[in-house]
A and B are shown apart, each in its own frame.
Chain A
Amino acid sequence: MAQVESNARGIPKAPFVDKVEEYTTVGEVETTLRKFQEMISKYKYMEIHLLQRKKSLETKIPEIKKTLEMVQFLISNQDSSTPLETHYELNDTLWAKAKINPSKTKTVNLWLGANVMLEYSTAEAKDLLQSKLDSAKTSLEQVDEDLEFLRDQITTMEVNTARVYNFDVKLRRKQKESGAGKE
């Protein structure tokens, strides 16, 4: 079989049926349709997988944004001597008061996941969060691109299916007519 074209992330391109009568023959319609169906369900499976990734990125991005906002706020207050009064969430629905001195707050601890928390200077934290935000946005764009590509392939396959099916209907009708003519 010839090399199948695929997109940047290796999703294979759906074949386009140029002339139905050349693509399938009388006895093979069912096999062809089954093959198409199989391909559509493969694409749909990939679509589900990508939609999940999209969802997780869509929750990740605002979280990074939130953290970044706080770090930026701390940086912008670095020169003020008045203590900041904050309420932070100690546990669900339980808030505690904390006074922080912005001019003395030079470092923040970032939760990296996997039970690891690291201390960064505010400037480093800002850079790190910014780069994480950018890369999350790029992957979201890529996922969107892939989803669009998948949509194209699914549409192509669906149109293919409809055309092969219609071809079969027409063929049967013709057979029936010629059969009736003989009797």
Chain B
Amino acid sequence: MKMLNQEEEADAEVTWEDQQNINAFSRLNMKLQNLEEAYEEKKKEKEYLDDLSSELELADEDELIKIQPFQSVFEIDKLTMYASHQFRYRIGDAFVSLPLSTCQERIEEEQSNLSDELGQVSSRIGDITEKMNQLKVILYKKFGNSINLER
């Protein structure tokens, strides 16, 4: 905080319109913060899912190798392990054993849902930032140094 010099003090009267602009700015700023938090959260979740799906793709390749015939006893052991390969997939509060393909379907669905949501959030962030910039121009023009609209 710094005190303004007397010369810097703008003697602008605050009209009802100005007040509404200030309010709108403050409200948008609050919204923006909430949305940015939501965006980060969703992005993290998306990253987890991406990791998971690439991990499962590797599992898929493993399975293909094991199906080749005439392999050592050790490999056949693994084959039985992979043939019945079920993944424990979390639904609600429980884990359900599901075959690989079903897991992948469910993950894909969740991924596309999340991508949609991420797109929506980021477009809203864009809208809000644009509106805030417009308001900034109006408010700085009127109040100059008497108002601070930066974070």
Contacts and interface: CB of A to CB of B under 8 A. Distances in A.
B129 interface: no
Contact of A155 (B26, B88, B93): B26
Contacts of A16: 16, 19
B97 A156 contact: no
B23 A156 contact: yes
Contact of A88 (B30, B31, B94): B94
Contacts of A87: 88, 94-97
Contacts of B94: 70, 86-89
Contact of B26 (A18, A67, A95, A151): A151
Interface string B68-108: 00000000000000000010100111111100000000000
B27 A84 contact: no
A152 B26 contact: yes
A152 B27 CA distance: 7
B58 interface: no
Given A16-B16, A148-B30, A151-B30, A86 B95 contact: yes
A66 B93 contact: yes
Interface in A63-100: 66-67, 69-70, 73, 84-89, 95
16 contacts: A16-B19, A66-B91, A66-B92, A66-B93, A69-B91, A70-B92, A73-B91, A86-B95, A87-B95, A88-B95, A151-B26, A151-B30, A155-B27, A156-B23, A159-B19, A159-B22
Given A70-B92, A155-B22, 20 more contacts: A18-B16, A66-B91, A66-B93, A67-B92, A69-B91, A69-B92, A70-B91, A73-B91, A73-B92, A73-B96, A85-B86, A85-B97, A86-B97, A87-B95, A87-B97, A89-B94, A151-B26, A155-B26, A155-B27, A156-B23
